[in-house]
């Protein structure tokens, strides 16, 4: 299977959510998300804990994890069509029935398609840092997205955020701390620079080869008091 074998399921004018061959298309600039019935994690052949990677890129980290950890179901969320095609092709070529691909914007998919308390773990690897001040509004790790993550995570679930961009790291940590419903796994300064067998990706390798430090921060929802 080659990336070019994946074709869009509709024209722009006819856009709508579609599940086909292990992939969900979540269209942009579309107002009918609530009318679409997403089957949830019944899309997987086996019921297992669900992990989501947002900003999956070409899928190297995701497919490695799905291949090495068959006791979990994995979801990759990516906006760019050229990257989605690569993940989809790898899913087929590696015969990863425990991997599902989402072509769409992270917050839209999370808000409209994921049930509350249904995700065991979230990974966000090297999202676009949008380094210019005037572009910060485009960053993924905004308060409203963190609220959605808190909603979808199971009790005991956690979010791991990885970046080479120190400004984005601190920006994200500050948003988590300000949220008050999240607790850091790590003590102040709330991040580490090595995480054992976490796995590698295109950007992880790229930035390490250029001598840049990789930062890991991790938060989990504060348990509700009984």
- Give the integer Cα–Cα distance in Å for 88 and 102: 9
**What backbone torsions phi and psi does residue 93 show, to the nearest 5 degrees?**
-65, -30
Write down the catalytic residue from 82, 128, 167, 197: 128
DSSP 8-class letter at 110: H
Q: Show Cβ contacts of residue 31 under 8 Å, excluding neighbours closer than 6 positions.
A: none
- DSSP string computed for 20-77: ETTEEE--SS-S-GGGS---GGGGSSS---EEEEES-TTSHHHHHHHHH-TTSEEEEE
Q: Is 128 a catalytic residue?
A: yes
For residue 190, how many C-alpha atoms fall within 13 Å in the half-sphere facing its CB?
19
Helix (H) or strand (E) holding 83: helix 81-93
Q: Which residues are catalytic?
A: 128
């Amino acid at each position: 299977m080659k990336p070019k074998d994946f074709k869009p399921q509709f024209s722009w004018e006819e856009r709508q959510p579609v599940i086909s061959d292990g992939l969900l298309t979540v269209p942009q600039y579309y107002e009918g998300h609530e009318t679409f019935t997403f089957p949830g994690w019944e899309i997987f052949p086996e019921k297992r804990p669900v992990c989501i990677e947002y900003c999956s890129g070409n899928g190297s980290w995701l497919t490695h994890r799905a291949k090495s950890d068959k006791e979990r179901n994995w979801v990759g969320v990516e906006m760019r069509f050229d990257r989605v095609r690569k993940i989809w092709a790898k899913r087929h070529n590696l015969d990863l029935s425990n991997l599902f691909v989402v072509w769409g914007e992270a917050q839209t998919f999370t808000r409209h398609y994921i049930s509350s308390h249904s995700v065991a773990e979230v990974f966000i690897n090297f999202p676009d840092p949008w380094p210019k001040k005037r572009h910060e509004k485009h960053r993924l790790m905004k308060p409203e997205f963190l609220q959605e993550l808190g909603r979808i995570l199971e009790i005991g679930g956690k979010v791991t955020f990885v970046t080479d961009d120190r400004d984005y790291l601190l920006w994200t940590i500050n948003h988590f701390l300000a949220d008050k419903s999240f607790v850091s796994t790590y003590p102040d300064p709330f991040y580490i620079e090595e995480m054992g067998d976490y796995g590698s990706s295109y950007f992880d390798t790229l930035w390490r080869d250029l001598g840049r430090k990789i930062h890991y921060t991790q938060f989990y929802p504060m348990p509700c008091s009984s």
